[in-house]
């Protein structure tokens, strides 16, 4: 089959002061293919995508689309030319309906007598959704009523439809980490849509940290490292090891999760849940967490694992049952009480909105969960806070110009390490890690796994909701599987006998 | 070629510095202008006057700054101050010096009530304080019988301290206001709950999950605002030896303006309590100076409003993120 060339990128370079984000990139995008882009954070793939959708301009180099020079100045212009992007952080407007979001900025087509014909718009939006086999979402629903995964599907539908408007010529759709919040089933659904789009002569560029997904969907894979395209290969006879090696320039050891450092937990039970319930989310959860143990919880989105963790860390209230901390029954009305009374603290899932205070500096963030640690003569001392921060910056090798750096400006991996520094500084010994490596590049991931092992070595206990099943199994001493709000199975996961993914998935579905 | 992002960063940094020095520069420029127009503006006598006039603005502004730091707003400080002034006048005549602690407690109560309404009942601060603002206005009228009250000469010894000047030019009243400012500033910078106020303004959800007492911090901020307003009311009463039931009304907005001019952002999370000093100074200089150089009273508010707009423009969030006042 002859492939039609959609876009050519020649010699694109992007120079930021101090860093060369992209160095002389050549790349072709063909109609009908899925092009996988992989690379660590900061490897340049986001910058390239921003240039492709007109959010940034290249310092030098040229882009051509359908043989014509292509230099959009805004994402809207790019969309009109047939290039659209599904953002990692969602860009939907929460208090508008699904249909309004899909047609945002394009309402003119529905204007009748100066008013928007909502009914026709809803009908068309429903057709768009149906075209993507999304049947569980009504186009008239307000977006804030949908759960996270559904919102992602709306986001995808919106971009698919926006660039589809110029269909026939072949459009390009960029997917940036589209699967991070989707369940396995939804991922498969997404992949089906992606393939169908490609058969119509469109191209999809798929960016993900999850190498297995990229290998599953991509026809061709480009590897980025330090602003350069280090390799480009058809997706044949590849395995994760090869890709990993090209991405980080070293071989991926089997020691990815530092399994050898897994320790046998002590006998003392630090946290026990007895028949814990939250109506509508989970019921009758019995669980024991030992000193120095890493307990993984698996389950699909909606299995209740997130809600269980929210209840344990005091963010939400249970409707029944008991939480025993070191043998004593406790109830917390807020994370503040959980931290002070039971020494429980969480690493939240949505780092930017829940884990850090972007406006504040790194040192201020690090002391936020324990002001007592930085007091001098009873008052908070910035000097001590900075000394403390310097210590953690060294220990966790956080890359920042100074501890005065605003955390909002740090990359995902470094911001997450600041969160871990704060958790360590808090002195809490029961830690809930909700997706601790979400949006973190491969290099920083192993470092975070190592930090997690260190924490367990200190005799602290952790509950981990992994970003992937593999991660949860790799890290944990035991793995609890949740389904429909109940714990369906508990697996032991000693270093020499990790349970198989397939066995666990059986209890999840 | 420089990246767009970095140019933006630089611009925003420049703007931050600009905002910080804006009040200082404008204070100096305006002082020089007023002084050129009438040299007695910088005379000892006028400076004493100026500092005395500034005292109630300052205490009310640094309380308000706490609430603004949260990203909330307190619309009740003006009438709390009025009510406090009336209470002060009444109580000085009946219970003597006990009036001071009682009115201070009243301020704590009024502020805490706002805080509780906002946090526990989930009423937006704008609405909660708008309601209590009306309540305290009525209370002030009822207490005073709807008229300005004069303090009887028998109670004058209790308020004469307000006339004392240290070193012949610094009013004791101003020093009292400065002490309040320093305490407020200290709490904001050196205590956990004070820091929590600021971080709630930046990111309430994260602060909550970090295990900080978000509700406590909010209630504290409103309490400080009420307390500052009541102290402002005391100042009005002892300065003028009278309790006027509308005395504080325009000071509500002046307090907000002073805090914003001092660099506190209305969206919360930014600024410092101490810099409120500069904001209050600037506002008082404009008001006082316009009188000294004889600006037509009918024009004063136009000039005042324009200057305020300029200051708030410098201070506004031009990244268009999180513009809504909670």
Reference B217, options B257, B253, B269; nearest CA is B269
Q: Can you tell me the mean pLDDT for B251-273?
A: 86
Q: Please tell me the distance from the alpha carbon of residue A150 to that of residue A330, in angstroms, as a whole number.
A: 35
Give domain status of residue B72, yes or no: yes
State which of A256-260, A299-303, B282-286 shows the largest mean pLDDT.
B282-286
Q: Which tens digit of pLDDT belongs to each residue from A277-313?
A: 998 899 899 999 999 999 999 887 778 899 999 999 9
Q: Can you tell me the mean pLDDT for B36-44?
A: 82
Q: In percent, how much of chain A has pLDDT > 90?
A: 27
Q: Which of B211, B263, B272, B319 to mutate to test the interface with A (most CBs of A within 10 A)?
A: B211
Q: What is the CATH number of the domain that holds B139?
A: 1.10.3470
Q: Which tens digit of pLDDT belongs to each residue from A182-206?
A: 777 778 878 887 887 787 778 889 9
More confident residue, A238 or B313: A238
Contact A357 B199 (CB under 8 A): yes
Helix or strand run (H / E) with residue A188: helix A184-199
Of A122-136, A374-388, A470-484, where does mean pLDDT reach its minimum? A122-136
Q: Can you tell me the mean pLDDT for B129-148?
A: 94
Q: Which fold has domain A256-508?
A: Rossmann fold (3.40.50)
Total number of domains constituting chain B = 1
DSSP characters for B212-245?
--HHHHHHHHHHHHHHHHHHHHHHHHHHHTEE-T
Q: Please tell me the distance from the alpha carbon of residue B207 to that of residue A423, in angstroms, as a whole number.
A: 13
Helix or strand run (H / E) with residue A131: helix A118-131
B92: domain range?
4-315
Contact A357 B209 (CB under 8 A): no
Q: Please tell me the distance from the alpha carbon of residue B319 to that of residue A276, in angstroms, as a whole number.
A: 44
Residue B320: the pLDDT is 44
Q: Which tens digit of pLDDT belongs to each residue from B68-92?
A: 999 999 999 999 999 999 999 999 9
* B58: pLDDT strictly greater than 50: yes
Return the DSSP state at A149: H
Phi-psi region of B201 (alpha: psi -120 to 50; beta: other; left: phi over 0): alpha
* A447: pLDDT strictly greater than 60: yes
Sole residue written with tokens 């410092």 = B272
Q: Please tell me the distance from the alpha carbon of residue A141 to that of residue A134, in angstroms, as a whole number.
A: 14
Parse chain A into domains and list their residue ranges: 5-252, 256-508
* Cβ-nearest to B1 among A59, A334, A355: A59
DSSP characters for B32-81?
HHHHHH-GGGGSHHHHHHHHHHHHHHHHHHHHHHHHHHHT-----HHHHH
* B176: pLDDT strictly greater than 90: yes
The distance of A375 to chain B (nearest Cα, Å) reads 9
| pLDDT-derived band at B323, boundaries 50, 70, 90 | very low
* B110: pLDDT strictly greater than 90: yes
Contact B189 A380 (CB under 8 A): yes
Closest residue in A to B192 (Cα) is A371
Sign of the CA dihedral running A94, A95, A98, A99: negative
Closest residue in A to B268 (Cα) is A359
| pLDDT-derived band at B6, boundaries 50, 70, 90 | very low
Chain B residues in contact with chain A using a Cβ-Cβ cutoff of 8 Å: 1-6, 186, 189-192, 195, 198-199, 202-203, 205-215, 269-270
* B19: pLDDT strictly greater than 70: no
Residue B63: the pLDDT is 95
Q: Which tens digit of pLDDT belongs to each residue from A145-171?
A: 887 777 878 888 888 787 764 456 778
Give domain status of residue B322, yes or no: no
Contact B211 A15 (CB under 8 A): no
Contact B136, B76 (CB under 8 A): yes
* B64: pLDDT strictly greater than 60: yes
Q: In percent, how much of chain B has pLDDT > 90?
A: 54
Give domain status of residue B36, yes or no: yes
Give domain status of residue B320, yes or no: no
Q: Please tell me the distance from the alpha carbon of residue A495 to that of residue A478, in angstroms, as a whole number.
A: 10
* B9: pLDDT strictly greater than 50: no
Of A46-60, A138-152, A235-249, where does mean pLDDT reach its minimum? A235-249
| pLDDT-derived band at B324, boundaries 50, 70, 90 | very low
Look up the CATH architecture of domain A5-252: 3-Layer(aba) Sandwich (3.40)
Sequence-ordered list of residues with C-beta below 8 angstroms from that of A37, at least 6 positions apart, any chain: A45, A48, A49, A205, A206, A207, A221, A222, A224
């Amino acid at each position: 089959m002859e492939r039609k060339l959609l876009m050519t990128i020649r010699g694109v370079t992007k120079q930021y002061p101090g860093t060369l984000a992209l160095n002389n990139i050549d790349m072709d995008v063909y109609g009908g293919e899925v092009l996988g882009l992989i690379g660590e954070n900061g490897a340049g793939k986001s910058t390239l995508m921003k240039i492709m959708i007109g959010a940034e301009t290249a310092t030098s180099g040229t882009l051509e689309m359908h043989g014509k020079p292509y230099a959009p100045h805004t994402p809207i212009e790019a969309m009109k030319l047939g290039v659209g992007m599904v953002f990692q952080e969602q860009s939907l407007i929460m208090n508008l309906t699904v249909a309004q979001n899909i047609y945002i900025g394009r309402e003119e087509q529905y204007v009748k007598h100066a008013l928007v014909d909502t009914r026709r718009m809803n009908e068309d939006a429903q057709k768009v959704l149906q075209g993507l086999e999304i049947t569980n979402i009504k186009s008239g629903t307000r977006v804030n009523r949908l759960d996270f995964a559904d919102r992602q599907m709306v986001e995808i539908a919106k971009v698919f439809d926006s660039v589809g408007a110029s269909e026939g010529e072949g459009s390009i759709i960029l997917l940036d980490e589209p699967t991070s919040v989707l369940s396995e089933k939804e991922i498969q659904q997404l992949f089906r849509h992606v393939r169908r789009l490609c058969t119509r002569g469109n191209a999809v560029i798929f960016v993900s940290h999850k190498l297995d997904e990229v290998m599953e969907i991509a026809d061709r894979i480009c590897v980025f490292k330090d602003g350069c395209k280090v390799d480009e290969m058809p997706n044949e006879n590849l395995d994760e090891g090869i890709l990993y090696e090209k991405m980080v320039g070293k071989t991926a050891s089997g020691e990815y999760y530092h399994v050898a450092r897994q320790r046998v937990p002590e006998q003392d039970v630090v946290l026990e849940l007895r028949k814990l319930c939250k109506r509508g989310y989970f019921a009758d959860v019995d669980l024991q967490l030992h000193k120095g143990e890493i307990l993984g919880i698996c389950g699909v989105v909606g299995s209740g694992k997130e809600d269980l963790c929210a209840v344990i860390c005091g963010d939400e209230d249970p409707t029944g049952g008991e939480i025993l901390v070191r043998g004593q029954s406790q109830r917390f009305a807020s994370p503040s009480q959980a931290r002070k009374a039971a020494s429980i603290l969480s690493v939240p899932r949505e780092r930017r909105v829940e884990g850090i205070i972007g406006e504040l500096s790194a040192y201020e963030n690090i002391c936020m969960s324990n002001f007592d640690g930085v007091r001098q003569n009873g008052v908070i001392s910035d000097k001590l806070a900075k000394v403390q921060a310097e210590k953690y910056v060294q220990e966790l090798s956080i890359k920042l110009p100074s501890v005065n750096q605003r955390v909002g400006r740090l990359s995902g991996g470094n911001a997450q390490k600041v969160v871990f520094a704060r958790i360590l500084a808090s002195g809490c010994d029961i830690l809930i890690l909700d997706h601790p490596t979400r949006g973190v590049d491969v290099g920083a991931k192993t470092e975070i796994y190592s930090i997690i092992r260190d924490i367990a070595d200190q005799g602290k206990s952790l509950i981990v909701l992994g970003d992937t099943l593999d991660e949860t199994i790799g890290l944990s001493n035991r793995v609890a599987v949740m389904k429909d709000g109940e714990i369906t199975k508990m697996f032991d996961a000693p270093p020499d006998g990790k349970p198989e993914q397939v066995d666990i998935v059986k209890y999840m579905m | 070629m420089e990246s767009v992002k970095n140019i933006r960063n630089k611009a925003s940094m420049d703007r931050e510095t600009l905002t910080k020095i804006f009040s200082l520069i404008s204070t100096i420029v305006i002082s020089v202008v007023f002084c050129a127009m009438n040299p007695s503006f910088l005379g000892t006598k006028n400076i004493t006057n100026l500092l005395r006039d500034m005292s109630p603005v300052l205490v009310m502004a640094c309380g308000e700054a706490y609430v603004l730091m949260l990203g909330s707003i307190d619309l009740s400080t003006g009438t709390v101050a009025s009510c406090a002034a009336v209470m002060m006048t009444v109580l000085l005549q009946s219970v003597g010096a006990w009036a001071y602690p009682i009115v201070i407690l009243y301020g704590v109560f009024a502020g805490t009530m706002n805080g509780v309404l906002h946090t526990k009942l989930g009423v937006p601060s704008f609405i909660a304080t708008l309601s209590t603002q009306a309540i305290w206005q009525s209370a002030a009228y009822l207490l005073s019988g709807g008229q300005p009250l004069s303090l009887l000469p028998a109670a004058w010894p209790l308020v004469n301290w307000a006339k004392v000047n240290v070193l012949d030019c610094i009013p004791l009243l101003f020093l009292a206001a400065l002490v309040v400012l320093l305490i407020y500033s200290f709490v904001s910078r050196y205590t956990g709950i004070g820091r929590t106020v600021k971080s709630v303004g930046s990111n309430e959800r994260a602060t909550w999950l970090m295990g900080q007492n978000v509700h406590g911090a909010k209630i504290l901020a409103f309490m400080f605002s009420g307390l500052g307003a009541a102290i402002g009311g005391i100042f009005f009463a002892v300065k003028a030896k009278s309790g006027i039931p509308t005395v504080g009304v325009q000071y509500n907005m002046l307090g907000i303006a002073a805090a914003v001019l001092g660099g506190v952002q209305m969206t919360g999370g930014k600024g410092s309590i101490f810099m409120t000093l500069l904001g209050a100074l600037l506002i008082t200089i404009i008001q006082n100076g316009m009188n000294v150089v004889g600006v037509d009273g009918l024009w004063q508010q136009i000039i005042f409003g324009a200057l305020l707009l300029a200051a708030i423009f410098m201070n506004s969030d031009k990244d268009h993120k999180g513009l809504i006042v909670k």
